[in-house]
Amino acid sequence: MRCLVLNMDYTFLGVCDWKDAVCAVYTNKVFVEESYEEIIHSTSSQMRVPAVIRLRKYVRVLYERISSVSYTKRNVHLRDAYICQYCAKRCKNNEATIDHIVPESKGGKDTWENTVTCCKSCNLLKDNLTLAQSGLKLIKTPARPKGFMEIVRIKIGELNDLWIKYLQKEC
């Protein structure tokens, strides 16, 4: 299980393993804001597993590191939830490809705004053509991920329901 970590002012810092969260609780470094139903036992006590913890002391952070996701093929697939952006077919991990909206041969770059997840059949259909030439239409316009919820979903691969109210803030 993972635990959301917040700064003293409730801003998002990251995610840690539940064992690290329990250690931080026992060393009195954090407040527990939310807990899972699971209970852990030691020889002398028991507690519910922390789901959201908040630091007792404010930590200064460069938010560029927290508020951005690096551009990678895997992260494009995670952004698009492994769904072909032309036909809406869910792709298996080995079937998903990356399509350049403006082909690389026509000056298209590897950017969040120019690449989408695509199934193999749509990628073959589009080939080295622009959208207008191929006749294909995008389901949604691709964009760089923003907002802590989307960043956590991409970086961690999960978004727990207990975390959502703490992640509503945009980057």
**Residue 54 pLDDT level (bands cut at 50, 70, 90):** very high
Q: Which two tokens stand for residue 96?
A: 């998903």
Give yes or no for residue 56 having a pLDDT over 90. Answer: yes
Give the pLDDT of residue 157. 67
Q: Which residues contact residue 99 at a Cβ distance below 8 angstroms, ignoring those fewer than 6 apart?
A: 85, 86, 115, 116, 117, 118, 122, 123, 126
Give the pLDDT of residue 50. 97
**What is the CATH code for 73-134?**
1.10.30.50
Give yes or no for residue 70 having a pLDDT over 90. Answer: no
**Residue 34 pLDDT level (bands cut at 50, 70, 90):** very high
Question: CA–CA separation, 162 vs 123, rounded Å?
Answer: 38
- Nearest partner of 4 among 43, 39, 35, 48, judged by Cα: 35
Q: What is the pLDDT of the chain when averaged over all its residues?
A: 89
Average pLDDT over residues 81-98: 93
Full 3-state SS string of 140-157: CCCCCCCCHHHHHHHHHC
Q: How many residues does the chain have?
A: 171
Question: CA–CA separation, 143 vs 167, rounded Å?
Answer: 19
Q: What is the pLDDT of residues 93-128, one digit of tens each?
A: 889 999 999 999 999 999 999 999 999 999 999 999
Question: CA–CA separation, 115 vs 61, rounded Å?
Answer: 30
Average pLDDT over residues 31-51: 95
The DSSP annotation for 101-119 comes to SS-GGGT--SSTTTEEEE-
Question: CA–CA separation, 122 vs 118, rounded Å?
Answer: 6
**Residue 64 pLDDT level (bands cut at 50, 70, 90):** low
**Residue 63 pLDDT level (bands cut at 50, 70, 90):** low
For the chain, which residues make up each domain, given as ranges? 2-66+147-166, 73-134
Question: CA–CA separation, 111 vs 147, rounded Å?
Answer: 18
